[in-house]
Chains A and B, each alone.
Chain A
Amino acid sequence: MCIIRASVTAVPQLLVSTVLLGGIYALIAVGLTLIFGIMRVVNFAHGEFLMLGMYLAFWAFTLLALDPYVLLFVSIPLFFGAGLLTYTLVMKGVIHASHNVQIFTTVGLSIALQNVALVLWTGDFRFVRPWYYSVVVRLGGTAFNLSQIAAFVVSVGFTVALFAFMKWSYTGRVMRATAQDRDAASLMGIDTDRVYGLTWAIGIVCVGVAGVLLAPLYPVYPTAGLQFVLLAYVVVVLGGLGDMVGALLGSLIVAAVEVVGSYVFGTAWKEVLYFLLFIAILLIRPAGLFGQRGTETLGV
Protein backbone atom coordinates (compact mmCIF):
# COMPACT_ATOMS: atom_id res chain seq x y z
CA MET A 1 0.00 0.00 0.00
CA CYS A 2 1.19 3.43 -0.67
CA ILE A 3 0.67 6.23 1.68
CA ILE A 4 -0.90 9.29 0.20
CA ARG A 5 0.96 12.28 1.48
CA ALA A 6 -0.55 14.93 -0.71
CA SER A 7 -1.27 18.21 0.93
CA VAL A 8 -2.88 21.33 -0.40
CA THR A 9 0.31 23.35 -0.08
CA ALA A 10 2.05 21.06 -2.57
CA VAL A 11 -0.41 21.81 -5.36
CA PRO A 12 1.27 24.97 -6.74
CA GLN A 13 4.66 23.24 -6.77
CA LEU A 14 3.24 20.21 -8.57
CA LEU A 15 1.58 22.46 -11.12
CA VAL A 16 4.75 24.41 -11.82
CA SER A 17 6.84 21.24 -12.07
CA THR A 18 4.34 19.71 -14.45
CA VAL A 19 4.32 22.68 -16.76
CA LEU A 20 8.12 23.00 -16.77
CA LEU A 21 8.65 19.33 -17.49
CA GLY A 22 5.82 19.19 -20.03
CA GLY A 23 7.32 22.04 -22.02
CA ILE A 24 10.58 20.15 -22.51
CA TYR A 25 8.86 16.88 -23.35
CA ALA A 26 6.85 18.77 -25.93
CA LEU A 27 9.92 19.72 -27.91
CA ILE A 28 11.11 16.10 -28.03
CA ALA A 29 7.66 14.83 -28.95
CA VAL A 30 6.92 17.49 -31.55
CA GLY A 31 9.98 16.48 -33.59
CA LEU A 32 8.92 12.84 -33.45
CA THR A 33 5.33 13.54 -34.39
CA LEU A 34 6.39 15.89 -37.21
CA ILE A 35 8.57 13.19 -38.78
CA PHE A 36 5.81 10.63 -38.39
CA GLY A 37 3.04 12.93 -39.59
CA ILE A 38 4.78 13.93 -42.80
CA MET A 39 7.08 11.03 -43.64
CA ARG A 40 5.07 8.19 -42.06
CA VAL A 41 8.32 7.02 -40.49
CA VAL A 42 8.64 6.25 -36.78
CA ASN A 43 12.11 7.48 -35.90
CA PHE A 44 13.55 4.99 -33.42
CA ALA A 45 16.82 6.92 -33.49
CA HIS A 46 15.12 10.03 -32.10
CA GLY A 47 16.58 9.56 -28.62
CA GLU A 48 20.09 9.27 -30.01
CA PHE A 49 19.90 12.73 -31.50
CA LEU A 50 18.82 13.93 -28.08
CA MET A 51 21.89 12.22 -26.65
CA LEU A 52 24.07 13.90 -29.29
CA GLY A 53 22.58 17.25 -28.26
CA MET A 54 23.51 16.53 -24.66
CA TYR A 55 27.06 15.56 -25.59
CA LEU A 56 27.37 18.63 -27.80
CA ALA A 57 26.42 20.76 -24.80
CA PHE A 58 28.82 18.82 -22.57
CA TRP A 59 31.84 19.13 -24.85
CA ALA A 60 31.16 22.74 -25.74
CA PHE A 61 30.90 23.53 -22.05
CA THR A 62 33.95 21.49 -21.00
CA LEU A 63 36.32 22.30 -23.85
CA LEU A 64 35.20 25.75 -24.94
CA ALA A 65 33.49 26.92 -21.75
CA LEU A 66 30.49 27.66 -23.95
CA ASP A 67 27.22 27.99 -22.07
CA PRO A 68 24.48 25.59 -23.30
CA TYR A 69 22.14 28.49 -23.93
CA VAL A 70 24.69 30.26 -26.09
CA LEU A 71 25.33 27.00 -27.86
CA LEU A 72 21.66 26.82 -28.85
CA PHE A 73 22.21 29.19 -31.75
CA VAL A 74 25.09 27.11 -33.06
CA SER A 75 23.28 23.85 -32.46
CA ILE A 76 20.34 24.72 -34.72
CA PRO A 77 22.35 24.81 -37.99
CA LEU A 78 24.53 21.97 -36.73
CA PHE A 79 21.62 19.62 -36.15
CA PHE A 80 19.95 20.77 -39.34
CA GLY A 81 23.11 19.67 -41.14
CA ALA A 82 23.23 16.41 -39.20
CA GLY A 83 19.60 15.83 -40.15
CA LEU A 84 20.21 16.43 -43.85
CA LEU A 85 23.28 14.19 -43.72
CA THR A 86 21.51 11.27 -42.04
CA TYR A 87 18.55 11.73 -44.37
CA THR A 88 20.75 11.59 -47.46
CA LEU A 89 22.95 8.73 -46.25
CA VAL A 90 20.38 6.60 -44.45
CA MET A 91 16.72 7.57 -44.81
CA LYS A 92 16.51 8.59 -48.45
CA GLY A 93 17.09 5.02 -49.60
CA VAL A 94 14.22 3.61 -47.54
CA ILE A 95 11.67 6.41 -47.76
CA HIS A 96 9.57 4.49 -50.30
CA ALA A 97 10.24 1.09 -48.70
CA SER A 98 7.89 -0.85 -46.41
CA HIS A 99 7.39 0.09 -42.75
CA ASN A 100 9.39 -2.96 -41.67
CA VAL A 101 12.42 -1.82 -43.60
CA GLN A 102 12.06 1.69 -42.18
CA ILE A 103 11.79 0.39 -38.61
CA PHE A 104 14.92 -1.74 -39.00
CA THR A 105 16.74 1.20 -40.53
CA THR A 106 15.98 3.68 -37.75
CA VAL A 107 16.61 1.06 -35.04
CA GLY A 108 19.94 0.33 -36.75
CA LEU A 109 20.75 4.03 -36.86
CA SER A 110 19.91 4.25 -33.15
CA ILE A 111 22.24 1.38 -32.19
CA ALA A 112 24.99 2.70 -34.44
CA LEU A 113 24.85 6.18 -32.90
CA GLN A 114 24.78 4.80 -29.35
CA ASN A 115 27.86 2.74 -30.02
CA VAL A 116 29.72 5.51 -31.77
CA ALA A 117 29.10 7.61 -28.65
CA LEU A 118 30.26 4.74 -26.46
CA VAL A 119 33.48 4.29 -28.43
CA LEU A 120 34.26 7.99 -28.66
CA TRP A 121 33.22 9.16 -25.22
CA THR A 122 33.00 5.96 -23.06
CA GLY A 123 29.99 5.03 -20.97
CA ASP A 124 30.80 7.38 -18.09
CA PHE A 125 28.12 9.68 -16.77
CA ARG A 126 29.09 13.27 -17.49
CA PHE A 127 27.64 16.42 -16.06
CA VAL A 128 27.23 19.95 -17.30
CA ARG A 129 27.36 22.33 -14.38
CA PRO A 130 27.08 25.99 -15.37
CA TRP A 131 26.96 28.67 -12.65
CA TYR A 132 23.19 28.78 -12.59
CA TYR A 133 22.99 25.05 -12.02
CA SER A 134 22.31 25.48 -8.31
CA VAL A 135 20.31 28.67 -8.53
CA VAL A 136 16.89 28.04 -7.16
CA VAL A 137 14.09 30.49 -7.74
CA ARG A 138 11.38 30.73 -5.09
CA LEU A 139 8.05 32.17 -6.03
CA GLY A 140 4.77 32.03 -4.15
CA GLY A 141 5.49 28.83 -2.25
CA THR A 142 7.08 27.08 -5.21
CA ALA A 143 10.73 26.46 -5.92
CA PHE A 144 12.35 25.62 -9.23
CA ASN A 145 15.71 25.48 -10.84
CA LEU A 146 16.74 28.34 -13.10
CA SER A 147 17.88 25.92 -15.86
CA GLN A 148 14.47 24.33 -15.80
CA ILE A 149 12.83 27.65 -16.53
CA ALA A 150 15.31 28.50 -19.25
CA ALA A 151 14.77 25.08 -20.83
CA PHE A 152 11.04 25.52 -20.60
CA VAL A 153 11.00 28.97 -22.15
CA VAL A 154 13.22 28.02 -25.08
CA SER A 155 11.37 24.77 -25.59
CA VAL A 156 7.94 26.37 -25.67
CA GLY A 157 9.21 29.20 -27.88
CA PHE A 158 10.61 26.66 -30.29
CA THR A 159 7.46 24.56 -30.32
CA VAL A 160 5.24 27.58 -30.94
CA ALA A 161 7.53 28.77 -33.74
CA LEU A 162 7.28 25.34 -35.35
CA PHE A 163 3.48 25.39 -35.12
CA ALA A 164 3.38 28.81 -36.73
CA PHE A 165 5.81 27.69 -39.43
CA MET A 166 3.71 24.64 -40.28
CA LYS A 167 0.45 26.53 -40.25
CA TRP A 168 1.26 29.78 -41.98
CA SER A 169 4.46 29.58 -43.96
CA TYR A 170 4.45 28.52 -47.59
CA THR A 171 6.98 25.77 -46.89
CA GLY A 172 4.81 24.54 -44.01
CA ARG A 173 1.88 24.26 -46.41
CA VAL A 174 4.02 22.38 -48.89
CA MET A 175 4.97 19.96 -46.11
CA ARG A 176 1.36 19.45 -45.02
CA ALA A 177 0.25 18.99 -48.62
CA THR A 178 2.92 16.33 -49.09
CA ALA A 179 1.69 14.56 -45.96
CA GLN A 180 -1.92 14.67 -47.13
CA ASP A 181 -1.33 13.40 -50.67
CA ARG A 182 2.16 12.68 -51.90
CA ASP A 183 1.25 11.91 -55.53
CA ALA A 184 -0.92 14.99 -55.84
CA ALA A 185 1.91 17.04 -54.32
CA SER A 186 4.45 15.82 -56.83
CA LEU A 187 2.00 16.64 -59.63
CA MET A 188 2.06 20.24 -58.35
CA GLY A 189 5.79 20.27 -58.99
CA ILE A 190 6.71 19.60 -55.35
CA ASP A 191 9.91 17.60 -54.96
CA THR A 192 8.58 15.30 -52.24
CA ASP A 193 11.96 13.72 -51.48
CA ARG A 194 13.27 17.17 -50.64
CA VAL A 195 10.23 17.81 -48.43
CA TYR A 196 11.01 14.60 -46.55
CA GLY A 197 14.65 15.64 -46.14
CA LEU A 198 13.57 19.01 -44.79
CA THR A 199 11.04 17.40 -42.43
CA TRP A 200 13.61 14.98 -41.09
CA ALA A 201 16.13 17.78 -40.56
CA ILE A 202 13.59 19.98 -38.72
CA GLY A 203 12.58 17.05 -36.50
CA ILE A 204 16.23 16.40 -35.69
CA VAL A 205 16.81 20.09 -34.89
CA CYS A 206 13.91 19.97 -32.38
CA VAL A 207 15.23 16.96 -30.55
CA GLY A 208 18.87 18.08 -30.76
CA VAL A 209 17.97 21.45 -29.24
CA ALA A 210 16.01 19.60 -26.55
CA GLY A 211 19.19 17.63 -25.80
CA VAL A 212 21.21 20.82 -25.39
CA LEU A 213 18.53 22.21 -23.08
CA LEU A 214 18.42 19.04 -20.98
CA ALA A 215 22.20 18.75 -20.55
CA PRO A 216 22.39 20.98 -17.45
CA LEU A 217 19.55 19.03 -15.85
CA TYR A 218 20.38 15.38 -16.45
CA PRO A 219 23.52 13.20 -16.66
CA VAL A 220 24.98 12.70 -20.15
CA TYR A 221 25.81 9.15 -21.34
CA PRO A 222 25.46 7.15 -24.58
CA THR A 223 21.97 5.81 -23.89
CA ALA A 224 20.71 8.96 -22.18
CA GLY A 225 18.20 9.51 -24.96
CA LEU A 226 16.36 6.29 -24.28
CA GLN A 227 14.41 7.32 -21.18
CA PHE A 228 13.22 10.52 -22.83
CA VAL A 229 12.32 9.04 -26.13
CA LEU A 230 10.23 6.30 -24.50
CA LEU A 231 8.32 9.14 -22.93
CA ALA A 232 8.04 10.86 -26.27
CA TYR A 233 6.45 7.75 -27.81
CA VAL A 234 3.86 7.74 -25.02
CA VAL A 235 3.23 11.45 -25.58
CA VAL A 236 2.89 11.09 -29.32
CA VAL A 237 0.50 8.16 -29.15
CA LEU A 238 -1.50 9.93 -26.45
CA GLY A 239 -1.87 13.01 -28.60
CA GLY A 240 -2.50 11.07 -31.81
CA LEU A 241 0.36 10.19 -34.15
CA GLY A 242 1.22 13.12 -36.36
CA ASP A 243 -0.88 15.59 -34.38
CA MET A 244 1.27 18.49 -33.17
CA VAL A 245 -1.25 20.10 -30.82
CA GLY A 246 -1.95 16.65 -29.44
CA ALA A 247 1.76 16.22 -28.79
CA LEU A 248 1.81 19.42 -26.75
CA LEU A 249 -1.18 18.40 -24.64
CA GLY A 250 0.13 14.83 -24.37
CA SER A 251 3.41 16.21 -23.01
CA LEU A 252 1.58 18.02 -20.25
CA ILE A 253 -0.42 14.92 -19.34
CA VAL A 254 2.64 12.69 -19.19
CA ALA A 255 4.49 15.32 -17.17
CA ALA A 256 1.53 15.57 -14.79
CA VAL A 257 1.42 11.80 -14.34
CA GLU A 258 5.16 11.78 -13.72
CA VAL A 259 5.21 14.71 -11.28
CA VAL A 260 2.06 13.88 -9.33
CA GLY A 261 2.77 10.15 -9.43
CA SER A 262 6.29 10.63 -8.10
CA TYR A 263 4.97 12.85 -5.35
CA VAL A 264 2.16 10.57 -4.28
CA PHE A 265 3.61 7.11 -4.85
CA GLY A 266 7.34 7.75 -5.06
CA THR A 267 9.68 8.25 -8.02
CA ALA A 268 10.06 4.53 -8.70
CA TRP A 269 6.42 4.38 -9.77
CA LYS A 270 6.39 7.10 -12.38
CA GLU A 271 7.15 4.88 -15.37
CA VAL A 272 4.68 2.24 -14.27
CA LEU A 273 2.06 4.96 -14.04
CA TYR A 274 2.46 6.54 -17.40
CA PHE A 275 2.76 3.24 -19.17
CA LEU A 276 -0.46 2.12 -17.47
CA LEU A 277 -2.04 5.29 -18.76
CA PHE A 278 -0.55 4.57 -22.17
CA ILE A 279 -2.02 1.06 -22.28
CA ALA A 280 -5.39 2.35 -21.11
CA ILE A 281 -5.45 4.94 -23.89
CA LEU A 282 -4.47 2.40 -26.50
CA LEU A 283 -7.31 0.16 -25.38
CA ILE A 284 -9.94 2.87 -25.18
CA ARG A 285 -8.90 5.39 -27.84
CA PRO A 286 -6.29 3.91 -30.19
CA ALA A 287 -6.26 7.06 -32.33
CA GLY A 288 -5.02 9.00 -29.29
CA LEU A 289 -6.86 11.24 -26.86
CA PHE A 290 -7.34 14.06 -29.30
CA GLY A 291 -6.99 12.18 -32.56
CA GLN A 292 -9.88 11.53 -34.83
CA ARG A 293 -9.86 7.97 -36.04
CA GLY A 294 -8.03 7.81 -39.33
CA THR A 295 -6.71 11.36 -39.35
CA GLU A 296 -3.22 10.11 -38.57
CA THR A 297 -3.05 8.98 -42.18
CA LEU A 298 -3.55 12.55 -43.31
CA GLY A 299 -0.79 14.24 -41.40
CA VAL A 300 -0.92 17.53 -39.56
Chain B
Amino acid sequence: MLRAEGLNVAYGDFQVLWDASIRVGEGEIVCLLGPNGAGKSTLMNTLSGLLKPRTGRVEFRGKRIDRLPAHRIVAEGMSHVLERRRLFPYLTVRENLVLGAHHPGARRHREESLVHIEAIFPFLRERRQQLAHTLSGGEQQMVAIARGLMARPRLLMIDEPFLGLAPRVVEEIVAVIRRIHADGVTIIFIEQNVELALRLADRGYVLESGRTILEGSSPELLQSAEVKRIFLGGRAG
Protein backbone atom coordinates (compact mmCIF):
# COMPACT_ATOMS: atom_id res chain seq x y z
CA MET B 1 0.00 0.00 0.00
CA LEU B 2 2.76 2.42 0.99
CA ARG B 3 6.34 2.16 -0.14
CA ALA B 4 8.99 4.72 0.73
CA GLU B 5 12.52 4.15 -0.47
CA GLY B 6 15.86 5.87 0.07
CA LEU B 7 14.47 9.00 1.70
CA ASN B 8 17.02 11.70 2.43
CA VAL B 9 15.46 14.66 4.19
CA ALA B 10 17.13 17.78 5.55
CA TYR B 11 16.17 21.01 7.29
CA GLY B 12 18.51 23.43 5.55
CA ASP B 13 22.00 22.02 6.00
CA PHE B 14 20.96 19.67 8.76
CA GLN B 15 20.14 16.25 7.42
CA VAL B 16 17.65 14.32 9.51
CA LEU B 17 16.80 11.22 7.47
CA TRP B 18 19.46 9.11 5.81
CA ASP B 19 18.27 6.65 3.23
CA ALA B 20 15.15 5.76 5.20
CA SER B 21 12.82 3.15 3.74
CA ILE B 22 9.56 1.59 4.89
CA ARG B 23 6.82 -0.55 3.41
CA VAL B 24 3.33 -0.94 4.77
CA GLY B 25 0.82 -3.46 3.46
CA GLU B 26 -2.94 -3.02 3.28
CA GLY B 27 -4.60 -3.76 6.63
CA GLU B 28 -1.48 -3.64 8.78
CA ILE B 29 -0.84 -1.75 12.00
CA VAL B 30 2.76 -0.60 11.89
CA CYS B 31 4.67 1.37 14.51
CA LEU B 32 7.71 3.56 14.12
CA LEU B 33 10.01 3.18 17.09
CA GLY B 34 13.10 5.02 18.07
CA PRO B 35 14.59 7.41 20.61
CA ASN B 36 14.00 11.16 20.58
CA GLY B 37 15.45 12.83 17.53
CA ALA B 38 15.71 9.59 15.57
CA GLY B 39 13.62 11.08 12.76
CA LYS B 40 10.28 9.32 13.28
CA SER B 41 8.18 12.48 12.95
CA THR B 42 10.32 13.69 10.07
CA LEU B 43 9.67 10.41 8.29
CA MET B 44 5.93 10.70 8.86
CA ASN B 45 5.90 14.33 7.77
CA THR B 46 7.70 13.35 4.59
CA LEU B 47 5.19 10.59 3.87
CA SER B 48 2.27 13.02 4.23
CA GLY B 49 4.00 15.67 2.11
CA LEU B 50 4.65 18.35 4.73
CA LEU B 51 8.35 17.86 4.03
CA LYS B 52 9.91 17.15 0.66
CA PRO B 53 12.72 14.62 0.40
CA ARG B 54 16.00 15.61 -1.28
CA THR B 55 16.14 12.18 -2.85
CA GLY B 56 14.09 9.03 -2.66
CA ARG B 57 10.52 8.24 -3.55
CA VAL B 58 7.20 7.59 -1.87
CA GLU B 59 4.54 5.48 -3.54
CA PHE B 60 1.05 5.22 -2.15
CA ARG B 61 -1.47 2.81 -3.67
CA GLY B 62 0.60 2.55 -6.79
CA LYS B 63 0.99 6.28 -7.28
CA ARG B 64 4.11 8.36 -6.74
CA ILE B 65 3.25 11.07 -4.19
CA ASP B 66 6.56 12.54 -3.00
CA ARG B 67 6.27 15.53 -5.32
CA LEU B 68 2.64 16.27 -4.44
CA PRO B 69 1.81 19.04 -1.94
CA ALA B 70 0.37 17.81 1.38
CA HIS B 71 -3.15 19.00 0.61
CA ARG B 72 -3.27 16.81 -2.50
CA ILE B 73 -1.98 13.72 -0.73
CA VAL B 74 -4.94 13.74 1.70
CA ALA B 75 -7.27 13.29 -1.25
CA GLU B 76 -5.32 10.15 -2.24
CA GLY B 77 -6.53 8.51 0.99
CA MET B 78 -3.78 9.23 3.50
CA SER B 79 -4.57 11.09 6.70
CA HIS B 80 -1.95 12.32 9.14
CA VAL B 81 -2.63 13.23 12.79
CA LEU B 82 0.20 15.45 13.93
CA GLU B 83 2.18 15.18 17.16
CA ARG B 84 0.55 17.05 20.07
CA ARG B 85 -2.91 16.88 18.45
CA ARG B 86 -2.65 20.26 16.72
CA LEU B 87 -6.37 20.99 16.71
CA PHE B 88 -7.52 24.42 15.57
CA PRO B 89 -7.65 25.79 19.12
CA TYR B 90 -10.14 28.62 18.58
CA LEU B 91 -12.58 26.65 16.48
CA THR B 92 -15.25 24.41 18.00
CA VAL B 93 -14.99 20.63 18.05
CA ARG B 94 -17.63 20.49 15.33
CA GLU B 95 -15.76 23.00 13.14
CA ASN B 96 -12.56 21.02 13.57
CA LEU B 97 -14.32 17.85 12.46
CA VAL B 98 -16.04 19.50 9.50
CA LEU B 99 -12.71 20.85 8.26
CA GLY B 100 -11.31 17.33 8.50
CA ALA B 101 -13.58 16.49 5.56
CA HIS B 102 -12.36 19.39 3.43
CA HIS B 103 -11.26 17.57 0.29
CA PRO B 104 -14.12 16.99 -2.19
CA GLY B 105 -14.12 13.19 -1.87
CA ALA B 106 -14.64 13.46 1.89
CA ARG B 107 -16.96 16.46 1.78
CA ARG B 108 -19.54 14.48 -0.19
CA HIS B 109 -19.84 12.03 2.71
CA ARG B 110 -19.47 14.57 5.51
CA GLU B 111 -22.75 13.92 7.30
CA GLU B 112 -22.41 10.15 7.32
CA SER B 113 -18.79 10.48 8.46
CA LEU B 114 -19.94 12.63 11.38
CA VAL B 115 -22.50 9.99 12.38
CA HIS B 116 -19.89 7.24 12.08
CA ILE B 117 -17.37 9.19 14.12
CA GLU B 118 -19.80 10.08 16.88
CA ALA B 119 -20.51 6.37 17.16
CA ILE B 120 -16.81 5.71 17.78
CA PHE B 121 -16.40 8.73 20.09
CA PRO B 122 -19.77 9.21 21.86
CA PHE B 123 -18.43 12.07 24.03
CA LEU B 124 -18.14 14.25 20.91
CA ARG B 125 -21.91 14.73 20.85
CA GLU B 126 -21.94 16.83 24.02
CA ARG B 127 -18.81 18.68 23.06
CA ARG B 128 -19.75 19.86 19.57
CA GLN B 129 -19.90 23.55 20.41
CA GLN B 130 -16.92 23.62 22.74
CA LEU B 131 -13.72 25.35 21.65
CA ALA B 132 -11.04 22.77 20.96
CA HIS B 133 -8.42 24.27 23.26
CA THR B 134 -10.71 23.86 26.28
CA LEU B 135 -10.76 20.05 26.02
CA SER B 136 -8.57 17.77 28.13
CA GLY B 137 -5.49 16.21 26.56
CA GLY B 138 -7.15 12.83 26.03
CA GLU B 139 -10.24 14.41 24.51
CA GLN B 140 -8.08 16.53 22.21
CA GLN B 141 -6.27 13.43 21.04
CA MET B 142 -9.58 11.76 20.27
CA VAL B 143 -10.83 14.80 18.38
CA ALA B 144 -7.53 14.85 16.44
CA ILE B 145 -7.99 11.20 15.46
CA ALA B 146 -11.67 11.83 14.68
CA ARG B 147 -10.72 14.79 12.50
CA GLY B 148 -8.20 12.60 10.70
CA LEU B 149 -10.95 10.04 10.05
CA MET B 150 -13.24 12.70 8.58
CA ALA B 151 -11.00 12.62 5.50
CA ARG B 152 -12.11 8.96 5.02
CA PRO B 153 -8.55 7.68 4.79
CA ARG B 154 -7.34 4.23 3.67
CA LEU B 155 -4.20 4.89 5.69
CA LEU B 156 -4.23 6.75 9.01
CA MET B 157 -0.90 7.95 10.40
CA ILE B 158 -0.81 9.06 14.05
CA ASP B 159 2.22 10.74 15.54
CA GLU B 160 2.55 9.84 19.26
CA PRO B 161 -1.13 9.21 20.04
CA PHE B 162 -0.40 8.38 23.69
CA LEU B 163 1.88 11.29 24.53
CA GLY B 164 1.23 12.70 27.99
CA LEU B 165 -1.96 10.72 28.62
CA ALA B 166 -3.08 8.88 31.75
CA PRO B 167 -2.93 5.04 31.55
CA ARG B 168 -6.72 4.74 31.47
CA VAL B 169 -6.92 7.17 28.52
CA VAL B 170 -4.09 5.31 26.76
CA GLU B 171 -6.20 2.15 26.93
CA GLU B 172 -9.19 3.99 25.50
CA ILE B 173 -7.13 5.21 22.58
CA VAL B 174 -5.67 1.75 22.00
CA ALA B 175 -9.26 0.48 21.79
CA VAL B 176 -10.18 3.26 19.39
CA ILE B 177 -7.24 2.50 17.10
CA ARG B 178 -8.16 -1.21 17.11
CA ARG B 179 -11.71 -0.34 16.19
CA ILE B 180 -10.63 1.94 13.34
CA HIS B 181 -8.33 -0.81 12.12
CA ALA B 182 -11.19 -3.31 12.27
CA ASP B 183 -13.13 -0.98 9.99
CA GLY B 184 -10.47 -1.60 7.34
CA VAL B 185 -8.12 1.34 7.81
CA THR B 186 -4.39 0.69 7.65
CA ILE B 187 -2.51 2.35 10.51
CA ILE B 188 0.99 3.72 11.10
CA PHE B 189 1.78 5.26 14.46
CA ILE B 190 4.75 6.58 16.37
CA GLU B 191 5.37 5.60 19.97
CA GLN B 192 8.39 5.63 22.25
CA ASN B 193 7.17 2.98 24.68
CA VAL B 194 8.24 -0.30 23.04
CA GLU B 195 5.99 -2.58 25.07
CA LEU B 196 2.91 -0.52 24.40
CA ALA B 197 3.73 -0.01 20.72
CA LEU B 198 4.40 -3.63 19.94
CA ARG B 199 1.35 -4.79 21.87
CA LEU B 200 -0.79 -2.76 19.45
CA ALA B 201 1.22 -3.11 16.23
CA ASP B 202 1.65 -6.11 13.94
CA ARG B 203 5.03 -4.92 12.81
CA GLY B 204 7.51 -2.20 13.57
CA TYR B 205 10.40 -0.20 12.21
CA VAL B 206 13.19 1.03 14.44
CA LEU B 207 14.84 4.32 13.60
CA GLU B 208 18.12 5.50 15.00
CA SER B 209 19.95 8.70 13.99
CA GLY B 210 17.77 9.13 10.94
CA ARG B 211 18.18 5.59 9.58
CA THR B 212 15.70 2.75 9.49
CA ILE B 213 17.99 0.22 11.12
CA LEU B 214 15.60 -2.57 11.94
CA GLU B 215 12.31 -3.99 10.79
CA GLY B 216 10.31 -6.94 12.01
CA SER B 217 7.11 -8.38 13.40
CA SER B 218 6.18 -7.35 16.92
CA PRO B 219 7.23 -10.64 18.55
CA GLU B 220 10.57 -10.52 16.69
CA LEU B 221 11.27 -6.97 17.78
CA LEU B 222 10.33 -7.72 21.38
CA GLN B 223 13.00 -10.46 21.39
CA SER B 224 15.57 -8.42 19.51
CA ALA B 225 18.84 -7.66 21.27
CA GLU B 226 19.18 -4.54 19.14
CA VAL B 227 15.87 -3.17 20.41
CA LYS B 228 16.97 -3.87 23.97
CA ARG B 229 20.24 -2.08 23.33
CA ILE B 230 18.51 1.04 21.98
CA PHE B 231 15.60 1.28 24.35
CA LEU B 232 16.77 -0.31 27.52
CA GLY B 233 20.36 0.82 27.36
CA GLY B 234 21.47 -2.81 27.76
CA ARG B 235 24.39 -4.28 25.83
CA ALA B 236 23.71 -6.76 23.08
CA GLY B 237 25.16 -10.23 23.56
Chain A interface residues toward B at CB < 8 A: 170, 173-174, 176-177, 180-181, 183-192, 298-299
Q: Which residue of A lies closest to B45 (CB)?
A: A183
List, in ascending order, chain A residues with CB within 8 A of B48's CB. Answer: 187
- In the complex the two chains form, is A189's CB within 8 Å of B91's CB? no
- In the complex the two chains form, is A174's CB within 8 Å of B71's CB? no
Q: Which residue of B lies closest to A180 (CB)?
A: B88
- In the complex the two chains form, is B86's CB within 8 Å of A188's CB? no
Complex A-B: 20 CB contacts under 8 Å: A177-B91, A177-B95, A177-B99, A181-B86, A181-B87, A181-B89, A183-B70, A184-B87, A185-B88, A185-B99, A187-B80, A187-B82, A188-B99, A188-B103, A188-B147, A189-B102, A190-B99, A191-B71, A298-B89, A298-B90
List, in ascending order, chain A residues with CB within 8 A of B100's CB. Answer: 188
Q: Which residue of B lies closest to A170 (CB)?
A: B98
List, in ascending order, chain B residues with CB within 8 A of A177's CB. Answer: 88, 91, 95, 99
Known: A173-B99, A174-B99. A189 touches B90 (CB 8 A): no
List, in ascending order, chain A residues with CB within 8 A of B70's CB. Answer: 183, 186-187
Q: How far, in Å, is A232 (CB) from chain B's closest CB?
A: 24
Selected contact of B71 from candidates A170, A176, A190, A298, CB within 8 Å: A190
List, in ascending order, chain A residues with CB within 8 A of B69's CB. Answer: 186, 191
Q: Which residue of A lies closest to B85 (CB)?
A: A184
Complex CA distance for A184 and B90, rounded to whole angstroms: 14
- In the complex the two chains form, is A176's CB within 8 Å of B147's CB? no
Complex CA distance for A15 and B90, rounded to whole angstroms: 35
Q: Which residue of A lies closest to B95 (CB)?
A: A173
Complex CA distance for A189 and B151, rounded to whole angstroms: 8
Q: Which residue of A lies closest to B103 (CB)?
A: A189
- In the complex the two chains form, is A190's CB within 8 Å of B89's CB? no
Complex CA distance for A109 and B89, rounded to whole angstroms: 34
Selected contact of A189 from candidates B71, B82, B89, B95, CB within 8 Å: B71
Selected contact of B151 from candidates A174, A184, A188, CB within 8 Å: A188
Complex CA distance for A191 and B70, rounded to whole angstroms: 8
* Most chain A CB neighbours (cut-off 10 Å) among B49, B80, B88: B88
The answer, yes or no, to whether B225 is at the interface (CB within 8 Å) is: no
- In the complex the two chains form, is A176's CB within 8 Å of B91's CB? yes
- In the complex the two chains form, is A184's CB within 8 Å of B71's CB? no
- In the complex the two chains form, is B82's CB within 8 Å of A184's CB? yes
Complex CA distance for A181 and B69, rounded to whole angstroms: 16
Complex CA distance for A170 and B104, rounded to whole angstroms: 14
List, in ascending order, chain B residues with CB within 8 A of A190's CB. Answer: 71, 99, 102
The answer, yes or no, to whether B75 is at the interface (CB within 8 Å) is: yes
Q: How far, in Å, is B190 (CB) from chain A's closest CB?
A: 15
Selected contact of A176 from candidates B74, B82, B88, CB within 8 Å: B88
Q: Which residue of B lies closest to A295 (CB)?
A: B90
Q: How far, in Å, is B15 (CB) from chain A's closest CB?
A: 20
- In the complex the two chains form, is B50's CB within 8 Å of A183's CB? yes
Complex CA distance for A188 and B74, rounded to whole angstroms: 7
The 5 closest A-B pairs by CB, nearest first: A189-B103, A189-B74, A186-B70, A189-B102, A184-B86
- In the complex the two chains form, is A184's CB within 8 Å of B88's CB? yes
